[in-house]
Amino acid sequence: MTLTQPHPEADQVQQRMQRWLERAVIGLNLCPFAKAVHVKQQIHYAVSAATDAGELMADLRHELLDLAQADPAERDTTLLVAPDALADFLDFNDGLGRADRLLRKLGLDGVLQIASFHPNYQFADAGPDDVTNCSNRAPYPTLHLLREESIARAVQSVPDAADIYERNRQTLKTLGFAGWTALALDN
């Protein structure tokens, strides 16, 4: 299965996402599990040409089914990137319920899960200018499809996994917006 339509700038979008992953997610150790799948090249980047939620859900369906059927040694996780859809964070956030319903409808609840990233991500308990929001800020609206089994194994391998959220908050507070900007995620 493939995306409903190829994105005309898929290569550039993927390069920018890889830069974000390497410099922010892995570089700041925001996710201690990301480095292993990145080094093993087990991350699939799917760049959607969707321009609205309906088109994105069609691509999400394809990617969920593809990931569920793929050999985990070859593809452990998928980043479904939507550079032209759901630019407004509140619209994106509203669409997450729809994404979870699709996951359940496909019978993949408990097998896969969906995490979310957005350029304007904002935690419910944080203001829009709170640097801790950057832990979930990516260059584009992104749905991260993960295998439940892989998450369970990763959590067992990291003794302080429950502390990741708070450690990320502290890392980002120490870094500040100037430090986040210095990561040069746009070049």
Give the HSE-up count for residue 7: Cα atoms under 13 Å, Cβ half-sphere.
Answer: 22
Q: What pLDDT does 2 receive?
A: 61
For residue 77, give the DSSP letter.
E
- Give the confidence band of 158 by pLDDT, cuts at 50, 70, 90: confident
132-153 tens-digit pLDDT: 999 999 999 999 999 999 999 9
- The model carries a pTM of 0.95
Q: What pLDDT does 155 receive?
A: 84
Percent of the chain past pLDDT 90, that is, above it, reads: 89
99-135 tens-digit pLDDT: 999 999 999 999 999 999 999 999 999 999 999 999 9
Strand partners, 113: 146
Task: Give the separation between CA 187 and CA 22, rounded to whole angstroms.
Answer: 13
Task: Give the separation between CA 187 and CA 184, rounded to whole angstroms.
Answer: 6
Q: What pLDDT does 136 receive?
A: 97
Q: For residue 159, what are the CA distances in angstroms to 41, 77, 140, 178? A: 25, 22, 31, 31
Residue ranges per domain, the chain? 10-174
Token digits for 109? 């609840």
- Give the confidence band of 156 by pLDDT, cuts at 50, 70, 90: confident
Task: Give the separation between CA 176 and CA 180, rounded to whole angstroms.
Answer: 6
